[in-house]
Amino acid sequence: MGELKKVIESGTPYLGTSAGSNICGLTIGTSNDMPIAYPKSFKTLGLVPFNINPHYLDPNPGSTHMGETRETRIQEFHHFNSQPVIGLREGSYLEVIGSKIRLKGVLNARVFEKNKTPYEIKSESDLSDLN
């Protein structure tokens, strides 16, 4: 992670999708896959001041699946962690230029903050102050 962060911070553009976007946040604690082996660290690049949950799916009220929803897992994460989490839906992305972070794409994103009700942000919203 250290070498990649140095290269990005020196000006090399980075485009991450799926797990590649997940590592741009503060930790991998809100990835969609549970590690099968304990990693050296859950810390990631920290290019944005929050965690990213790529492929975010809204709960389906008609589903008979009895497992956890993404929203439930993120709320469980907040029992032990304080950083915000951005649920990025398919086709949405974050554009980071300097210190500016902007949501792009046609879909809203869902923002989860500890001890707050999750809320939606629209495309073109500025996320620079979210931390």
Give the other-Cβ count within 10 Å of 77's Cβ: 19
Domain contains 59: yes
Nearest to 17 by CA among 45, 49, 47, 54: 54
Q: Respond yes or no: is residue 55 known to be catalytic.
A: yes
Domain count, the chain: 1
Give pLDDT, residue 61: 80
Q: Which tens digit of pLDDT belongs to each residue from 46-89?
A: 999 999 999 998 887 887 877 788 998 999 999 999 999 999 99
Instruction: Spot the catalytic one: 10, 21, 33, 129.
Output: 33
> Quick one: residue 105, left, alpha or beta (phi over 0 = left, psi -120 to 50 = alpha)?
left
Instruction: Tell whether the model's pLDDT for residue 34 goes beyond 80.
Output: no
Domain contains 18: yes
Query: What's the rounded Cα separation, in Å, for the pair 10 and 12?
Result: 6
Residue 63 sits in a domain whose CATH number is: 3.40.50.880
What range does the domain containing 31 cover? 2-121
Instruction: Spot the catalytic one: 55, 123, 125, 128.
Output: 55
